[in-house]
Amino acid sequence: MTNHKQIWEADKRHWMHPWTHFESFQQEGSLILSRARGSRLWDSNANSYFDAVGGLWCTNIGLGREEMAETIAEQVRQLAYANPFVDMANEPAVALAEKLAQLAPGDINRVFFTCGGSTAVDTAFRLIHFYQNCRGMPHKKHIIARRGGYHGSTYAAMSITGKSGDRIAEFDYISDTIHHLSCPNYYRAPEGMDEQQFCDSLVEEFQQKIDQLGADKIAAFFAEPILGSGGVIVPPADYNRRMWELCKANDILYVADEVVTAFGRVGHWFACEEMFGVQPDIITCAKGLTSGYLPLGATLFSDRIYEVISSGDSDRYFASGFTYSGHPVACAAALKNIEIIERENLLQRVVKVGAYFEERLQTLRELPLVGDVRGKRFMMCVENVRDKNTREVFPDSLNIGKWISDRAEEAGLIVRPIVHLNVMSPPLTMDYQEVDFVVERLGQAILQTHSDLVAEGHLPAPSGAVAGAIS
Ligand code: PLP
């Protein structure tokens, strides 16, 4: 298949993509990508784009690295696959497990390899059941998560997910033992509450849920340190730490879902402890672990949990795992990825350039449609609204985020649309000039979309001059 049109047609005919929206896919198909170098992508028509989404929050070191290609090729030559079940190991997986134990906070020293983020969350879910049963607390099984949280696409991970747009009626979910608290999004807090009051109300809500269910029934709390696809929501100051304090006080395991936030996205190997002062019991990670070069995830957990599950019954074994757990080629890629992040000081770079990215994106607030600009460092988002004062959003059917991202794409910039949001998570190599490019092109796309909306009658014509300057 060489012809662009043929590929585009075959894609529509045969590949059902994740989150396919059947009607628009049938009409518009997909952007067919064919090549990448660093943050730059080329489509099958040779158009080029700056990928401000980093694939899907994952191409942290940038694509097309020769030394990564060499590492992967060499590992394929050496040992392309190894059975991971108990009586066999392989060197890259062992080395990676040891490295992750060094990088993870506190006593998180145990590593269970998975195939990606959802299977890491699913494994955490099963590990929690296993742990509670092993310690003789079979009734302690309820899970608490948040509305707006995203945790993946297996049955358990999607049941823990609290994004209303993803939990659609045609699928079924576990509902009797999984509960969702409010989303810690201050932009959508009740009218008149300051941030501290909002935070207090969220912690109080958790306390009430514990009182209602009983601490002896609650096994774990799942939380992304910064909510990602739920809208890049940085919770109010001290929220994460206070929720963790409640977990500790009530013997509830704290699961930090760091599938997005780990491996440099916000300037740390893991965000939970360094950025928020939370020492979790379990961390789930994937994505930036290999920078998307190969699929890999991991469920990291504490020595305390390992101690409980590994003692007491000499016949016991952890009957869970995957053919591709600890895949040697994926683990070799992860080791090389970590080496590159260390050698190129990418964490420090994200702290420095990330401050500039935040500052420059904030200038978009002057534009029509832009209700909120939020996030941290290389994990940012613009929320588009119909009315900046009331924060009213456009109907979902207008797909405003997609409207803007289509305009941006025409101008050589990929930003991710999520209903009325535009989300960015660029490779950690982004420099100051690229920040300027992203902000300028996104600003122009927003202005163009605003003009389109006026022209098509979705918005009244502005009375004064529209803020046109993008500083
Ligand atoms: N957890 C979080 C926070 C995520 O953002 C994602 C994916 O975006 C997942 C879990 C699921 O990861 P995967 O798509 O690799 O299964």
Atom of ligand 1 at shortest range from CA of 121:
10
Domain boundaries, position 367: 31-61+346-455
Question: Domain ends where: 315, 343, 371?
Answer: 343
Q: Tell me: pLDDT of 465 over 60.
A: no
| 300 & 377 share domain | no
Cα(345) to centroid of ligand 1, in Å?
25
* In a domain? residue 11: no
Domain assignment of residue 419, yes or no: yes
Tell me: pLDDT of 467 over 80: no
- The alpha helices in 317-430, defined as continuous H runs, are 328-343, 346-362, 400-410
pLDDT of 2 > 70? The answer is no
Q: Is the domain of 308 the same as that of 377?
A: no
Give the pLDDT confidence score for residue 462 in this predicted structure: 79
Letter for the amino acid at 243?
A: M
* Structural domain count, the chain: 2
- H-helix or E-strand containing 433? helix 432-455
**Residue from 114, 125, 150, 381 to probe ligand 1 pocket by mutation (most atoms less than 8 Å from CB):** 150
| Residue 259 CA to ligand 1 centre (angstroms) | 6
E strands of 131-234, at which residues?
A: 142-146, 178-181, 218-223
In a domain, 21, yes or no: no
Question: What atom of ligand 1 comes closest to residue 118's alpha carbon?
Answer: 16
> How much distance in Å is there from the Cα of 229 to the middle of ligand 1?
9
Pocket residues for ligand 1 (CB within 6 Å)? 116-118, 121, 150-153, 224, 228-229, 257, 259-260, 286, 297
Same domain for 393 and 323: no
269 backbone dihedrals φ, ψ, rounded to 5°: -60, -45
pLDDT (0 to 100) of residue 464: 62
Mutate which of 259, 266, 285, 423 to test ligand 1's pocket (most atoms within 8 Å of Cβ)? Answer: 259
Same domain? 331 vs 355: no
Q: How far apart are CA 427 and CA 264, in angstroms?
A: 10
Are both 338 and 389 inside the same structural domain?
no
Same domain, 291 and 400: no
- Residues 37, 150 within the same domain: no
Co-location of 287 and 429 in the same domain: no
pLDDT digits (tens, 9 = 90+) for 74-118: 999 999 999 999 789 999 999 999 999 999 999 999 999 999 999
ipTM passes above 0.85: yes
Sequential DSSP letters for 42-87: EETT--EEEETTHHHHT-TT-B--HHHHHHHHHHHHHHS----STT
* Whether residues 448 and 317 fall in one domain: no
Residues 221-225 have a mean pLDDT of: 98
CATH number at residue 403: 3.90.1150.10
On whether residue 406 sits in a domain, the answer given is: yes
CATH label of the domain that carries residue 92: 3.40.640.10
Classify residue 336: in a domain, yes or no: yes
- pLDDT of 469 over the 50 cut: no
Instruction: Give percent of the chain with pLDDT exceeding 70.
Output: 98
Q: Where do we find the tokens 């957990």?
A: 301
What pLDDT is stored for residue 4 in this prediction?
Answer: 85
b (16+ CB within 10 A) / e for 252-273:
bbbbbbbbbbbbbbbbbbbbbb
CA distance 188 to 414: 27
**196 in a structural domain:** yes
- Report percent pLDDT > 90 for the chain: 94
Residue ending a domain, among 294, 327, 343, is 343
Q: How far apart are CA 256 and CA 292, in angstroms?
A: 21
Q: Which atom of ligand 1 is nearest to the CA of 228?
A: 5
Of residues 469 and 333, more confidence is placed in 333
301/200 same-domain check: yes
Q: Ligand 1 mean position to 117 CA, how many Å? A: 4
How large is the average pLDDT for residues 378-385? Answer: 98
Instruction: For residues 225 and 324, state if they share a domain.
Output: yes
Return the closest-CA partner of residue 206 out of 163, 175, 245, 159. 245
Q: CA-CA-CA-CA torsion for 139, 253, 110, 348, nearest 10 degrees?
A: 160
Residue 394: predicted pLDDT? 96
Q: Looking at ligand 1, which atom is closest to the CA of residue 224?
A: 3
Contact of 364 with 446, CB cutoff 8 Å: yes
Whether residue 2 is contained in a domain is answered as no
Question: Distance from the CA of 236 to the center of ligand 1, in angstroms?
Answer: 23
Cβ neighbours of residue 168 closer than 8 Å, sequence gap 6 or more: none
Inform me whether the pLDDT recorded for 317 exceeds 80.
yes
Which of 56, 118, 285 is the pocket-test mutation for ligand 1 (most atoms within 8 Å of CB)?
A: 118
Give the pLDDT band of residue 466 (cuts 50, 70, 90). low
Q: Residue 349: CB partners within 8 Å, gap ≥ 6?
A: 428, 429
**H or E segment and range at residue 282:** strand 282-285
Cα separation, 32 vs 12, whole angstroms? 11
Examine residue 1 and state whether it is found in any structural domain, yes or no. Answer: no
Give pTM, 2 decimals.
0.97
**What number is the average pLDDT over the span 409-436?**
97
Give the ligand 1 atom nearest the CA of 56: 8
Q: Are both 208 and 147 inside the same structural domain?
A: yes
- Select from 53, 60, 282, 287 the residue to mutate for testing ligand 1; criterion: most ligand atoms less than 8 Å from CB: 287
The 10s digit of each residue's pLDDT in 159-194 is 999 999 899 999 999 999 999 999 999 999 999 999
Res 455 pLDDT > 50: yes
